Structure 1
Amino acid sequence: MTQIEILPDVSAREIDVSSKLDALAAQYKGASGLGIKVLGLLGLPVSGLISSLPKEVQNGLGSGTGMALTQAVKLADGSRGVLKDQPDWVNASLTAALGAAGGFGGVTSALAELPVTITVLLRAIQAVSVQHGFDPSQESVRFDCLQVLAANGPFTADKGADLSMLEQRAGLAMGGAGWIKAVIVPRLAPVLGQKLAAQAVPVIGAAMGAATNYAYTSYYQDIAHVHFGLRKLAIDADVPSDELVAGMLKRLEGSKSDA
């Protein structure tokens, strides 16, 4: 069982909220950097990847993502008592190996690899929640882990677009299965479509599978650190989470205007 370090109580006045928000905003802003560099180095465009997939695969992305995610949730939750959480770099390396295997056989093997990779991604996100002092067996934290998967993915330059969405708690009111189908799947399906398209590239599919999986895992771990970092800061500093999100968005907008 993972041991969580119990930190001494810190009063709100001892917490430099502004500095912590600066650090979280920087981590959020840089989360997509690796993914975009990966595609650039391998000579593939960021946009238009999904259109290269066979039509039947494009049409089945939603249902396939739903089935893969449902299976991944069961496997991730069930494995926590058997396999201990791994460091971030181990998770990224593991998904890279899975991506290489999935890309070796093109779309067919990539589709077979998808549920396993999503399971590892979810376990990696759960591990981040533990690092911030949260228990992924609690229902609210389980929803938070799934919300991280609703981020836009590593191959988007639209910073801040989904930060407020990550702080919503609609899933608790709607119910798990309905929320996954209505909210998570529509956002995750096109992101996974990009991954499948990269793995289907002839000759270099295995290399692309390894590279994109590594980028995806690094990205979602960064987003998880931001998400749970905000939750922890809200508790420690006794500041409403919506105020912290507003502060993050202001910093992200400020970084755009400075660019």
Structure 2
Amino acid sequence: MQPEILLPVTDPGLTSALDALARRHRSASGPMMQVISLVGATTEGLLGRLPAPVLNGLQTATERGLDTAFEAARRSRGVVADRPDWVNKALGTALGAAGGAGGLPSALAELPFTITLLLRAIQGIAAEHGFDPESEEVRVECLRVFAAAGPLDADDGVDMGFLTARMTLTGAGLHGLIGKVAPRLALALGQKLAAQTVPVLGAVAGAAVNYAFTSYYQEIARVHFGLKRLAQESGEDEGLLREELVMRLTRSSR
């Protein structure tokens, strides 16, 4: 059987929508540039601030945090309505300030709450685009958003791994997928923790870092679910639309 040949998108409406998604993806890490200036360090230098035991245990803590966050976010949906982006940014900023105020111990204590906030924000964006956050399929799609590099990644936010990744509900199911995503998210969160330990700045750095993280993952979620919605509404193959978006991002990063 011959593989299906996907032709390039030529419809003006689709190309315009894809261009808009590409612009949104490129701008996702914008707020992080201000944080880099604030802390005055490279991401490699930031990670060097963390003690070895913290670095070694970060992946396990992240995996445990994702497990807990999924359950907490699910329960909260029946109690608290989805919030606008600006409210999530404000809450994330407040959490970051509290976490950064006490250095590494308070930043570690704040981490699970931030993961839950980010996941709940991603779920809200999924619902906004017409997808059911309670379904197993959409929960996996929320994890794909977390598979993005993070706003402190050296590629300035033009991360395409999450766009091309293929995550399916086979074998170990959702928990197994959390195990796959945790290492990538742990790296991003490790950079966040390290930035929150910057001497003197404390709460200010923590607030700025969390604002940037909340902004980033909300924008990436809008790209991800916006693309899925575009495929549904247009009847176009989602894989083709992803290829078209990746092509636009690749061109812009050269």
Task: Calculate the TM-score normalised by the size of structure 1.
Answer: 0.89
Contact 2:28/2:220, CA 8 A, preserved across alignment = yes
Counterpart of 2:74 (choices 68, 77, 89) is 77
Tell me the SS of whatever aligns to 2:93: helix
Q: 2:161 matched to 1:162? A: yes
Counterpart of 2:114 (choices 110, 113, 117) is 117
Contact 1:121/1:217, CA 8 A, preserved across alignment = yes
In the other structure, the counterpart of 2:27 is: 30
Tell me the SS of whatever aligns to 1:134: coil
After TM superposition, the structure 1 = structure 2 runs for residues 65-214 of structure 1, keeping only pairs within 5 Å, are: 65-158=62-155, 159-165=158-164, 168-170=166-168, 172-174=169-171, 175-181=173-179, 183-214=180-211
Contact 2:99/2:203, CA 8 A, preserved across alignment = yes
Q: Which runs of 5+ in 1 are unaligned?
A: 1-12
In 1, Cα distance between the equivalents of 2:122 and 2:104?
Answer: 26
Identity of aligned residues (%): 50
Q: Which runs of 5+ in 2 are unaligned?
A: 1-9
Q: 2:32 matched to 1:40? A: no
Contact 1:36/1:46, CA 8 A, preserved across alignment = no
In 2, Cα distance between the equivalents of 1:173 and 1:117?
Answer: 28
In 2, Cα distance between the equivalents of 1:209 and 1:241?
Answer: 38
Q: 2:246 matched to 1:249? A: yes
| CA pair 163-58 structure 1, distance change in 2 beyond 3 A | closer
Contact 1:234/1:241, CA 8 A, preserved across alignment = yes
| CA pair 160-44 structure 1, distance change in 2 beyond 3 A | closer
The offset of 1:163, in angstroms, is 3.9
Superposed CA RMSD: 1.8
In the other structure, the counterpart of 1:218 is: 215
In 2, Cα distance between the equivalents of 1:101 and 1:60?
Answer: 22
In 1, Cα distance between the equivalents of 2:202 and 2:164?
Answer: 33
Q: Which residue identity lines up with residue 160 of structure 2 in the other structure?
A: A
The offset of 1:73, in angstroms, is 1.0
In 2, Cα distance between the equivalents of 1:63 and 1:197?
Answer: 17
The offset of 1:231, in angstroms, is 0.3
Count of residues paired in the alignment: 243
Task: Calculate the TM-score normalised by the size of structure 2.
Answer: 0.91
**After TM superposition, which residue ranges in structure 1, 4 or more long, deviate above 4 angstroms?**
none
In the other structure, the counterpart of 1:10 is: none
- 1:112-158 per-position Cα deviation (integer Å, ceiling 9, x unaligned): 11101110100110111111111101111111112111110001242
In 1, Cα distance between the equivalents of 2:159 and 2:109?
Answer: 32
The offset of 1:15, in angstroms, is 7.5
